[in-house]
Structure 1
Amino acid sequence: MKSLLAAALMVFTLAASALPTQESVVYTVNGETYEGAWYQVAPGRPTVLLAHDWDGLTDYEIQRALMLNKLGYNVFAVDLFGQGIRPEKVEDKRQHTGALYKDREKLRALMQGGLEQAIANGADPASVVVMGYCFGGAAVLEAARAGMPAQGFVTFHGGLQTPAGQDYSQVSAPLLIMHGTADTAITMADFADLASRLEKAGVAHEMITYGGAQHAFTVFGGGRYHKEADLKSWARFQQFLQAVTVL
């Protein structure tokens, strides 16, 4: 009886240790306070650094983080706006994203600060993939151009324009860019320009467009949600993760 009880307790302990842990993480970057979220499956697992879209770190990013947890990946959802700042009005979203588009050094510092906090939480610095949606996608490309050490960079319907004076000569890992062909916010001209720049810089990359998909095509419940493009892009993302990391 005692041996059976001990065995049952061991199974319960192992199962409990495999459950993801979720916690809000308050941290500072250059003296300003931010609040990200850490979703850990287990120590030592590869980590995805997730950059939010223009309404800040909300339920959408949390849902994606939990989806990644189910696949076996730890996730740190970075905060790019500041603790408690989750803009709801369009003008507020434009204000916060616009300020960072004008201050690229700050945007780089915020992405680097997010990476450093993820490592402080327990992320393995040798096994990190950086990904983002919409504005977060632009932040991912900014981090890539800055030479952030990572195993890969991934954007979903992200901003693709390259600021004047910047290039991709310092990129440390492959890029996966997934875009909606019907996106009028980020055009196919932007897409083609990025492809040319990456090719010129000799950066390993894959760029995919999905016919009929508009901007924000992955946002569940949104008016522009495109199920086929969402499922295909998520499947390709999983393949990319498997190729550049080891679970």
Structure 2
Amino acid sequence: MKNIFYLFVFSFVVSTTVAQQKAVEYKDGSQVLSGISVKPAKALKGNPGILILPAWMGIQNHEKEVANQLADLGYQTFIADIYGIDQRPASTKEAGAKAGYYKKNISEYQKRIQLALDQLVKQGGNRDAIVVIGYCFGGTGAVEAARTNMKVNGIVSFHGGLGRDESRTIEVIIPKVLVLHGADDNFVPKEEIEKFQAEMRTAKADWQMVYYANAVHAFTEKSAGNDNSKGAAYNEKADKRSWQAMLDFLKEVL
């Protein structure tokens, strides 16, 4: 009987201290989207929210792990579905085509990001305390959230693209910007970085850009392997350092 009692107490404690994860369907016109909401077991004061923008393959285990880790720290998190519930890429070739479409049709990407932000708030995130983070393609989206002054406190781009159509007007950027970048990332040309930094200055942004030694593209993604010669590879040191940089940023802006 005593063992049953202890088992009940243990089960109760576990059930009340584990973040709650659920799929959330929403729409962009007729397109059904399905993001993932993770509610912390114990939210931080003010219910700050984090929107996670996935890399080009869409919602994968990496984004889910990040969402759970942030929820464990007390943040309400939401992983955006950019492509649609029936539009998930089945290969890197498909992912490249789909991500390329949204980079060329940037207003559609911006709209999908805003719809996901709305869902984050509906799920309990404080609309006045939100940060957008993104990986690779999602990092590009995070920068777009800043460029269009979405109602967020800041954005964090992990090894994201930084390019911008030069015909676009540079507006003053209000959200704080943190770009975490592999020092050896050849996916983002030097010219693109220089133009981005010039843009940040023109936009009078509060921005930071941190470089990580010996890190190439996708340095936070364990499934990328560890061969830098392939252009995309995991780097444990850069992963840990960039995670800490993000946590410090979150404390500052939220």
CA contact (8 A) 1:198 1:205 kept: yes
> Which of 78, 89, 92 in structure 2 is aligned with 1:90?
92
Deviation at 1:139, TM superposition (A): 1.0
> Which of 123, 128, 131 in structure 2 is aligned with 1:129?
131
Partner of 1:40: 39
CA distance in structure 1 between the aligned counterparts of 2:134 and 2:97, rounded to whole angstroms: 19
Deviation at 1:56, TM superposition (A): 0.5
Percent sequence identity over aligned pairs: 28
Partner of 1:183: 185
Matched, 1:233 2:232: no
Helix, strand or coil at the partner of 2:109? helix
Helix, strand or coil at the partner of 2:219? coil
Helix, strand or coil at the partner of 1:221? helix
Deviation at 1:46, TM superposition (A): 1.0
Which stretch of structure 1 is more off in the superposition, 166-175 or 45-54? 166-175
Helix, strand or coil at the partner of 1:98? helix
CA distance in structure 2 between the aligned counterparts of 1:115 and 1:105, rounded to whole angstroms: 15
CA contact (8 A) 1:38 1:77 kept: yes
Helix, strand or coil at the partner of 1:206? strand
CA distance in structure 1 between the aligned counterparts of 2:70 and 2:36, rounded to whole angstroms: 13
Deviation at 1:17, TM superposition (A): 4.0
Helix, strand or coil at the partner of 2:200? helix
Which stretch of structure 1 is more off in the superposition, 125-134 or 193-202? 193-202
Helix, strand or coil at the partner of 2:222? coil
> Which of 218, 229, 253 in structure 2 is aligned with 1:244?
253
Deviation at 1:16, TM superposition (A): 4.4
What letter corresponds to residue 35 of structure 1 in structure 2? Answer: S
Partner of 1:154: 156
Superposition TM-score, scaled by structure 1 size: 0.90
For residues 142-176 of structure 1, give each alpha carbon's deviation from its aligned partner in whole angstroms, at most 9, with x where no partner exists.
12111101011110000101123224424221100
CA distance in structure 1 between the aligned counterparts of 2:124 and 2:172, rounded to whole angstroms: 26
Partner of 1:214: 216
CA contact (8 A) 2:173 2:204 kept: no
What letter corresponds to residue 166 of structure 1 in structure 2? Answer: R
CA distance in structure 2 between the aligned counterparts of 1:208 and 1:103, rounded to whole angstroms: 28
What letter corresponds to residue 184 of structure 1 in structure 2? Answer: N
CA distance in structure 1 between the aligned counterparts of 2:18 and 2:170, rounded to whole angstroms: 39
Deviation at 1:232, TM superposition (A): 0.6
CA distance in structure 1 between the aligned counterparts of 2:70 and 2:137, rounded to whole angstroms: 20
Helix, strand or coil at the partner of 2:221? coil
CA distance in structure 2 between the aligned counterparts of 1:70 and 1:79, rounded to whole angstroms: 22
What letter corresponds to residue 20 of structure 1 in structure 2? Answer: A
Moved over 3 A (4+): 11-18
CA distance in structure 2 between the aligned counterparts of 1:154 and 1:168, rounded to whole angstroms: 19
What letter corresponds to residue 98 of structure 2 in structure 1? Answer: H
Q: 1:199 to 1:170 in 2, by over 3 A?
A: closer
Alignment RMSD (CA, Å)? 2.0
Partner of 1:145: 147
Partner of 2:20: 21
